[in-house]
Amino acid sequence: MNIARLTILVAALASGGVAAWMALGSAAPVTTASIPAVHQEAELSHEILVAVTDLAQGAPLTEEVMRWQPWPAEASPQAFISRTARPDAMQTLKDSVVRSGFVAGEPIREDKLAQPGSGLLSMLLPSGKRAVAVRVTAESTAGGFILPDDRVDVIHTLVRQDPSGGPAQVASRPILSNVRVLAVDQTATENADGAPVVGKTATLEIDPQHVGTIAAAEASGTVSLALRPAADNDEKPAVVQQRNTTRTVRVTSGGTTTQVEVQPFGQVPES
């Protein structure tokens, strides 16, 4: 009896195996869907020109202080110098003068460079402006704490001696406001430690029409500089307008009376 049951079980298993084999053979072969592999081509190395070390204002640009640095293309504006566009940039830019300092690793831009042979002060001077030097002392420059790139008011002081031997008359007035200091003596940058710069001359950036005002003030008296707060730098530089205090007096001489306009001491006509 047991042998009969075992025979039936083996036969059933064999029949099931044959049926499964026939089903697989008749079915269409299963193929694996071909999933296109996403192959992103390696982006060509985008490189820009950067400074190897810190470069101070006025420093010459040499090939040793420049190198090509990999840089994300999407974060590379046109102002940056790319190796793809200008492979010879190191050779063409060498011997240029740095007009605005770079820090190590900073992208080099041509708008911060000047042509070889350019004077430092002329590079710092914006188009349409003039540089005028005035005689100063520590006392007339806020104790020497007026530094290049500060903003100042220009004060004109007159001293007139009394011909009769009386006390001298002194009068002061501001003649220009919010004027940029380009340099103190031959220093056009602030000391690294922020120390005061005490010099004998201060070079000011002014409009061409104000050159005569400064020249007349120095010829007729002394000039002092009053340091302005940095918060007021946005004010437009201008000639300080003073209330017109001209008076008319009558002068009688030889029986003839003449009217003459005079200005009180301390008031200087604008140039």
Does residue 141 share a domain with residue 114? no
> How many structural domains comprise the chain?
2
C-alpha span between 210 and 213 (Å, rounded): 5
Whether residue 189 is found in the same domain as residue 130: yes
Q: How far apart are CA 224 and CA 220, in angstroms?
A: 13
Tens-digit pLDDT profile for residues 43-90: 546 899 999 999 887 788 899 999 999 999 888 888 899 999 999 999
Residues 139 and 216 in one domain: yes
* Secondary structure (DSSP) of 177-210: EEEEEEEETTB-S--TT------SEEEEEE-GGG
Q: Is residue 245 part of a domain?
A: no
Note the pLDDT tens digit of each residue in 114-168.
777 666 677 777 788 899 989 887 776 666 678 888 899 999 988 877 777 777 7
Q: Are residues 107 and 61 in the same domain?
A: yes
Is there a single domain that holds both residue 71 and residue 153?
A: no
Is 249 a domain residue? no
**85 φ, ψ to 5°?**
-80, -35
What does the buried/exposed string (b/e) look like for 202-220 if buried means 16 or more CB atoms within 10 Å of the residue's CB? bbbbbeeebeebbebbeee
Query: In terms of C-beta density within 10 A (0-12 exposed, 13-18 middle, 19 or more buried), how is residue 41 classed?
Result: exposed
pLDDT at 260 over 60: no
How far apart CA 227 and CA 42 sit, in angstroms, is: 57
Beta-bridge partners for 159: 170
Q: Which of 180, 187, 222 is nearest to 205 (CA)?
A: 180
Q: At 66, which CATH number?
A: 3.90.1210.10
**Which of residues 140 and 34 earns the better pLDDT score?**
140
Claim to verify: residue 78 and residue 130 sit in the same structural domain: no
**Whether residues 59 and 148 fall in one domain:** no
Supply the pLDDT for residue 258.
59
131 and 234 both lie in a single domain = yes
Q: Look at residue 30 and tell me whether its pLDDT is greater than 70.
A: no
This prediction's pTM: 0.51
Residue 263 falls inside a structural domain = no
Residue 246 within a domain:
no
In this predicted model, what pLDDT tens digit does every residue of 186-245 receive, in sequence order? 666 555 555 556 668 888 999 999 998 898 888 888 899 998 988 887 777 666 654 444
**pLDDT above 70 for 17:** no
Q: At 14, is the pLDDT very low, low, confident or very high (cuts 50, 70, 90)?
A: low
Considering the domain architecture, whether residues 107 and 160 belong to the same structural domain is answered as no
pLDDT-wise least confident of 69-83, 176-190, 248-262: 248-262
Residue whose structure tokens are 């010099």: 199
Q: Are residues 230 and 155 in the same domain?
A: yes
Which of 80, 101, 118 terminates a domain? The answer is 118
Q: Does 129 share its domain with 232? A: yes
Residues 66 and 147 in one domain: no
The label of the residue with tokens 């900073």 reads: 106
Q: What is the pLDDT of residue 124?
A: 73
Domain of 224? Answer: 125-239
Rounded to an integer, the average pLDDT of 241-255 is: 53
Q: What are phi and psi of 179, to 5 degrees?
A: -100, 135
